[in-house]
Amino acid sequence: DIQMTQSPSTLSASVGDRVTISCRASQSISSWLAWYQQKPGKAPKLLIYKASSLESGVPSRFSGSGSGTEFTLTISSLQPDDFATYYCQQYNSYLLTFGGGTKVEIK
């Protein structure tokens, strides 16, 4: 199975900050990586697919980069609506796996 490791697990930031979340795969997954945002009591929402493609309707302050085993989600200027938990997910093959999550908190 491909293991996905996210860091940090918790991040404290202020509105307007540039935020970076990392995701590492235990083996190469090419660009088959997605990022999701989840708020308490809600289903996850797709932000980025194929490592760097922005899902329709997602603000352009979200961006993704990386390939192989190292990936990054960047929020260029954190907004109040962005405080949430973020997950990466690989889809190189079944079994699909998620990272452990990064909670972005208000500083």
Partner 1 sequence: EVQLLESGGGLVQPGGSLRLSCAASGFTFSNYAMSWVRQAPGKGLEWVSGIYGSGGSTFYADSVKGRFTISRDNSKNTLSLQMDSLRAEDTAVYYCAKEMGITYDSFDIWGQGTMVTVSS
The residues binding partner 1 (CB under 8 A) are 1, 34, 36, 38, 43-46, 49-50, 55, 87, 89, 91, 93-101
Smaller CB distance to partner 1: residue 50 or 107? Answer: 50
Asked whether 85 and 60 are in contact (CB, 8 A), the reply is no
The least distance separating partner 1 from the CB of residue 83, rounded to whole angstroms, comes to 17
Asked whether 47 and 39 are in contact (CB, 8 A), the reply is no
Q: If phi over 0 gives left and psi between -120 and 50 gives alpha, with beta otherwise, what is residue 31?
A: alpha
Smaller CB distance to partner 1: residue 17 or 100? Answer: 100
Smaller CB distance to partner 1: residue 34 or 78? Answer: 34
Question: How do strand 10-13 and strand 102-106 relate by DSSP bridges?
Answer: parallel
